[in-house]
Amino acid sequence: MTSDTTTLERPHTDAAPPLDHSLLEIRGILKVFPGVVALDKVSFQLKAGTVHALMGENGAGKSTLMKIISGIYLPDQGDIFLRGEKITLKSPIDALNQGIAMIHQELNLMPHMTVAENVWITREPKNRFGFVDHKELNRKTAALFAELSIDIAPDVEIQNLSVASRQMVEIAKAVSYNSDVLIMDEPTSALTETEVAHLFNIIRNLRKQGKGIIYITHKMNELFEIADEFSVFRDGQYIATCASSDVTRDDIIRMMVGREIKQMFPKQDVPIGDVVLSVQDLCLEGVFQNITFDIRAGEILGMAGLVGSGRSNVAEALFGVVPATSGTIAINGVGVEIDTPAAALAAGMAFLTEDRKETGCFLSLDIQDNMGAAVLNQNYVTKGFVQSKSLNRDCMEMAQRLRVKTPSMSEVIQNLSGGNQQKVLVGRWLLTHPKILILDEPTRGIDVGAKAEIHKLVSELAGQGVAILMISSEMPEVLGMSDRIMVMHEGRLTGILDRKDADQVSIMDLAAK
Amino acid sequence: MNTTSVPKAMHSIAKPTLKLPPEFSIFLVLVGICVFFEAIGWYLNDQSFMFNLERLKIIILQMSVIGIIAIGVNMVIITGGIDLSSGSVVAAAAVVSASLAQVSDFPRAIFPELTNLHVFWPLMAGIFVGLIAGALNGSLIAMTGIPPFIATLGLMVAARGFAKWFTGGMPVSMLTDDFAWLGEGGNPVVIFLVIAAIFHVVLRYTRFGKYTYAIGANRQAARVSGINVNRHLIWIYAIAGLLSGIAGTVTAARAISGQSGMGVMYELDAIAAVVIGGTSLVGGVGRITGTVIGVLILGVMTSGFTFIRIDAYYQEMVKGAIIVAAVIADQYRNKKKRV
């Protein structure tokens, strides 16, 4: 695809060469995935000796852009210039050799090898017999670390290091390739405050050396502390670049949120009944603390927050997948002990999990068996034998109601599209006739049509008096569907907004403390 | 699963295709092997391989012990596990059941006070030994989370050791006619087929069966669907052990002797039969009918090679090749399906 972009006559490739001070420039990058434009002709510039933050909601296109810059994806259109010269990146190694290094959110170090071995992997110094020269290896590592003021012994094994120290090793490794462009994706997500301070010192040090650092973060205060400039992305489009000294936090949130949301969600007004689920001071040590909320019959409680804020963990605790360590759960005013999913099911709960493949589908089984899996716990069984006739009939009715597209109920679920798989899983839980329905990202990765059908169904269920807790990373979905919205940030409940008071700005404000 | 007819409203692309059961291809292989030996038989020996009632009886009789084990191993593998302990459990059950089946006029009986017992008692003892061994496997796997390969490997070594200790290395002999009856004539075959039928029904028509497939297909999803995965796994391994216990008792009855060296490599024959029968080692896929056909394929091959007078060493090499070929074919079939 790079070959035809070079032959294409497009206005911005003919434009003036990049300015002298731009270290990395991308122009008109287009990346299309099946069914979605991930990046729509995006451009931006990284200057040498600056820290440039990328801002945007989940799904705005930041990660895709970084994957293109680090050679993981090839762009469908557009050009990348490094120090004014046009480059083509075919692989991450290619990018590394050209001086662009990415430090991933999930670290890629080998736990059983030493720090030095990890840093210089595939580039180990050899002695005259062709064996790895460990003395030289450790010396080189110590020199590198000294330069970056990192205080870690080169010969300890990675597995004995804290997450923060591993992060430092990753950074040193990236620098060791003489990279001029360093990309950091949420580097502070697992660090304590002092560790963050140390990391920032290292980053400032690198900046002084003239490196360009692209920094992805969801944390506003970090932005003002470390970044010189930032660029905002939204829905795959580049919005603006500003110097961080010129703007306020609210300006940035407004830029990130941007559009007005249209009323595309068939939320019905339904009578709200009594409190069905009451959660008091729910904690899971080290994950989330003091979560307190109620859901009433017929109510949809949306749950917003960034990825990693603990939303899914709360849902898992409510359903007994990973039981909470303290706090109380009451259903219809009666306290219940939920230590396993089976107990949650018995208490009238249902839980559509976030990850269809990992915790949802039985990929090798057919639609019938996938749909009937949860209800067998309570119903359709006499003396251990499954009442196949009535179960098959009810599953079929459910499949028709949800409009699952399939040649037959004995089709293996693996052969269905994501949206149809999701419908089957929704059907699995509806067959149990839950009083409380927990939906974790119910429309992730499915097409618009199936999305609308699931939204309609959720609304209908609320109309029938089901209490619904809906986690979603899609702002329009949360705003469009919920009666109230609770927002989480770093394991804490930062606020519950009423439908009439909630908008994207108020949610982002609570989600990005 | 029964293919229920789906009303038109549900789908736009209804294509009523004749769906063959997944065992059909493996059944064809069985037929092919039989035809092969039949042809060679007429050419070399001037007699029929298949149309010989005596031979057919021996084929099934020889394989029925492996078959009984394979039923349990099949269920273990459907859950995504493995059981390496079956052969050693056979030995343990064989020596214990035999020790309770000795005649009263044998002066060196292991339990002199417990001789001339009704066949019920040694049978129960054999089943009990198997059940305990299996429950131990299951509990280790469920409670500690160690891989089934390791847990059952441990028991494989330990149960064999138990059998040697129990007998002091000597055969347990002088058994009652009552006990020997278990292994006579077609009795082992009947036991095998009854067990196969029972577990065929269990897997296809009961909640226990549905849960077995669900756990093998996706353990996490099974737990979230309200299945008590740990308890279920303990049961599965306990049943597999119990069936090995029955197999051990039958083995002792057939030999009219209990020996600590019985059942060596039986676990591998059982696993081979299960895999040839189309059960996926990844879990979530497999049927009893396939396993029965897999057992028959192994039996026919052993008998056929002897029939055409191929050296026993060659037989093993070919058997190894066929097991591997079966898995490769299975993988290929799965890959094709996914495209």
* DSSP assignment of B119-186: THHHHHHHHHHHHHHHHHHHHIIIII---HHHHHHHHHHHHHHHHHHHHTTS-B--B-HHHHGGGSTT
* pLDDT over 90 at A358, yes or no: no
Q: How far apart are CA A141 and CA A115, in angstroms?
A: 8
pLDDT digits (tens, 9 = 90+) for A469-503: 999 887 878 888 899 999 998 888 888 988 888 88
For residue A382, tell me if it sits in a domain: yes
With CA atoms as reference, the chain A residue closest to B216 would be A362
Q: A301: domain range?
A: 275-511
Residue A190 has what pLDDT?
67
Q: What separation in angstroms does the CA of A276 have from each of A53, A256, A430, A437, B194?
A: 44, 36, 17, 11, 51
Residue B73 has what pLDDT?
97
Give the rounded percent of residues in chain A with a pLDDT score beyond 90.
20
For residue A66, tell me if it sits in a domain: yes
Whether residues B217 and A388 touch (CB distance < 8 A) is answered with: no
Reading the block at residue A145, the tokens are 């670390």
Report the 10 Å Cβ neighbour count for A17: 11
Which residues on A lie below 8 Å from B1 (Cβ)? 366, 368-369, 409-410
Residue A60 has what pLDDT?
77
Burial of residue A154 (number of CB atoms within 10 Å: 0-12, 13-18, 19+): buried
With CA atoms as reference, the chain A residue closest to B8 would be A407
Residue A235 has what pLDDT?
78
- State the nearest Cα–Cα gap between B287 and chain A, in angstroms: 13
Whether residues A373 and B228 touch (CB distance < 8 A) is answered with: no
Q: How confident is the model at residue A34 (pLDDT cuts 50, 70, 90)?
A: low
Whether residues B284 and A363 touch (CB distance < 8 A) is answered with: yes
A230 & A325 share domain: no
Of residues B247, B256, B258, the one with CA closest to residue B192: B247
pLDDT digits (tens, 9 = 90+) for B30-53: 888 889 888 888 888 788 887 888
Q: Tell me, yes or no, if B36 comes closer than 8 A to chain A by beta carbon.
A: no
Partner residue facing B217 (CB), from A364, A377, A407: A364
For residue A141, tell me if it sits in a domain: no
A375 & A476 share domain: yes
Residue A1 has what pLDDT?
39
For residue A122, tell me if it sits in a domain: no
Cβ contact A468:A300 at 8 Å: yes
**In three state form, how does the secondary structure of A279-294 look?**
EEEEEECCCEEEEEEE
Give the CATH number, domain containing residue A17: 3.40.50.300
3-state secondary structure of A53: strand
Which residues on A lie below 8 Å from B207 (Cβ)? 376, 381, 384-386
A interface test, pick of B224, B239, B334 with most A CB neighbours within 10 Å: B224
pLDDT digits (tens, 9 = 90+) for A376-391: 888 898 888 988 889 9
Whether residues A321 and B224 touch (CB distance < 8 A) is answered with: yes
Residue B65 has what pLDDT?
94
Phi, psi of A375 (to 5 degrees): -75, -20
For residue A190, tell me if it sits in a domain: no
Which residues on A lie below 8 Å from B6 (Cβ)? 396, 406-409
pLDDT digits (tens, 9 = 90+) for A425-440: 999 999 999 999 999 9
Q: Tell me, yes or no, if A305 comes closer than 8 A to chain B by beta carbon.
A: no
Which residues on B lie below 8 Å from A399 (Cβ)? 10
Among candidate residues A226, A259, A292, the one where a domain is terminated: A259
Q: How far apart are CA A498 and CA B36, in angstroms?
A: 77
Cβ-proximal residues to B307 (8 Å cutoff; 6+ apart), any chain = B37, B41, B45, B49, B55
Of residues A452, A490, A483, the one with CA closest to residue A468: A483
What is the ipTM for the molecules in this complex? 0.82
Whether residues A386 and B14 touch (CB distance < 8 A) is answered with: no
Pick the range with the lowest mean pLDDT from A111-120, A198-207, A460-469, B45-54: B45-54
Tally of structural domains, chain A: 2
Q: What is the mean pLDDT of residues A335-362?
A: 90
Whether residues A392 and B225 touch (CB distance < 8 A) is answered with: no
Q: How far apart are CA A125 and CA A132, in angstroms?
A: 6
Whether residues A385 and B7 touch (CB distance < 8 A) is answered with: no
Which residues on A lie below 8 Å from B11 (Cβ)? 405-408
Higher pLDDT, B86 or A165: B86
A interface test, pick of B1, B2, B17 with most A CB neighbours within 10 Å: B1
Q: How far apart are CA B74 and CA B278, in angstroms?
A: 10
Whether residues A406 and B10 touch (CB distance < 8 A) is answered with: yes
pLDDT digits (tens, 9 = 90+) for A308-344: 788 889 999 999 999 999 999 999 989 899 999 999 9
Cβ contact B117:B184 at 8 Å: no
Whether residues B1 and A369 touch (CB distance < 8 A) is answered with: yes
A453 & A486 share domain: yes
Give the residue ranges of chain B where pLDDT is below 50: 1-17, 337-339
3-state secondary structure of A349: strand
Burial of residue A245 (number of CB atoms within 10 Å: 0-12, 13-18, 19+): exposed
3-state secondary structure of A76: coil
Q: How far apart are CA A339 and CA B205, in angstroms?
A: 29
Among candidate residues A197, A227, A259, the one where a domain is terminated: A259
Cβ pairs A/B, distance under 8 A? 129
Whether residues B221 and A361 touch (CB distance < 8 A) is answered with: yes
Reading the block at residue A399, the tokens are 């499949």
Partner residue facing B1 (CB), from A368, A385, A428: A368
For residue A180, tell me if it sits in a domain: no
pLDDT digits (tens, 9 = 90+) for A284-317: 988 898 999 999 999 999 998 877 788 889 999 9
Whether residues B225 and A374 touch (CB distance < 8 A) is answered with: yes
Whether residues B218 and A374 touch (CB distance < 8 A) is answered with: no
Reading the block at residue B109, the tokens are 């009986």
Q: Tell me, yes or no, if A400 comes closer than 8 A to chain B by beta carbon.
A: yes
C-alpha count within 13 angstroms, C-beta hemisphere, residue A340: 14
Residue whose entry in the numeric block shows the structure tokens 């018995």 = A346
Whether residues B227 and A386 touch (CB distance < 8 A) is answered with: no
A389 & A479 share domain: yes
- Between the CA atoms of B287, B289, B294 and B297, what dihedral angle is there, to the nearest 10 degrees? -160
Pick the range with the lowest mean pLDDT from A227-236, A247-256, A300-309, A484-493: A247-256
Give the rounded percent of residues in chain A with a pLDDT score beyond 70.
91
With CA atoms as reference, the chain B residue closest to A346 would be B226
How far separated are the first and last CA of chain B, in Å rounded? 23
For residue A115, tell me if it sits in a domain: no
* pLDDT over 80 at A5, yes or no: no
Higher pLDDT, A207 or A418: A207
Partner residue facing B217 (CB), from A351, A365, A399: A365
Whether residues B338 and A399 touch (CB distance < 8 A) is answered with: no
Single-letter amino acid code for the residue at B212: T
A363 & A464 share domain: yes
With CA atoms as reference, the chain B residue closest to A370 would be B214
Residue A456 has what pLDDT?
86
A233 & A342 share domain: no
B interface test, pick of A358, A405, A408, A414 with most B CB neighbours within 10 Å: A408
A interface test, pick of B17, B218, B279 with most A CB neighbours within 10 Å: B218
A220 & A310 share domain: no
Partner residue facing A408 (CB), from B3, B225, B227: B3
pLDDT digits (tens, 9 = 90+) for A119-146: 888 888 888 888 888 888 899 999 988 8
Q: Tell me, yes or no, if A372 comes closer than 8 A to chain B by beta carbon.
A: yes
For residue A149, tell me if it sits in a domain: no
Q: Tell me, yes or no, if A289 comes closer than 8 A to chain B by beta carbon.
A: no
Residue A121 has what pLDDT?
84
A452 & A306 share domain: yes
Cβ-proximal residues to A397 (8 Å cutoff; 6+ apart), any chain = none
Residue B142 has what pLDDT?
92
Domain segments of chain B: what residues?
61-264
Q: What is the CA radius of gyration of chain B?
A: 21
Which residues on B lie below 8 Å from A346 (Cβ)? 226
Q: How confident is the model at residue A11 (pLDDT cuts 50, 70, 90)?
A: very low
Partner residue facing A359 (CB), from B10, B221, B282: B221
Cβ-proximal residues to A278 (8 Å cutoff; 6+ apart), any chain = A294, A329, A330, A331, A333
Residue B12 has what pLDDT?
38
Q: What is the DSSP letter of B147?
A: -
Q: Tell me, yes or no, if B20 comes closer than 8 A to chain A by beta carbon.
A: no
Q: Tell me, yes or no, if B218 comes closer than 8 A to chain A by beta carbon.
A: yes
Residue A107 has what pLDDT?
66
Residue whose entry in the numeric block shows the structure tokens 């021996």 = B58
Residue B214 has what pLDDT?
95
A280 & A375 share domain: yes
Higher pLDDT, A61 or A346: A346
Cβ contact B138:B211 at 8 Å: no
Among candidate residues A198, A233, A259, the one where a domain is terminated: A259
Cβ-proximal residues to B169 (8 Å cutoff; 6+ apart), any chain = B260
Cβ contact A485:A502 at 8 Å: yes
A288 & A372 share domain: yes
Q: Tell me, yes or no, if B3 comes closer than 8 A to chain A by beta carbon.
A: yes
Reading the block at residue B307, the tokens are 């029939």
Q: How far apart are CA B18 and CA A285, in angstroms?
A: 55
A91 & A1 share domain: yes
A324 & A417 share domain: yes
3-state secondary structure of A85: strand
Whether residues B211 and A376 touch (CB distance < 8 A) is answered with: yes
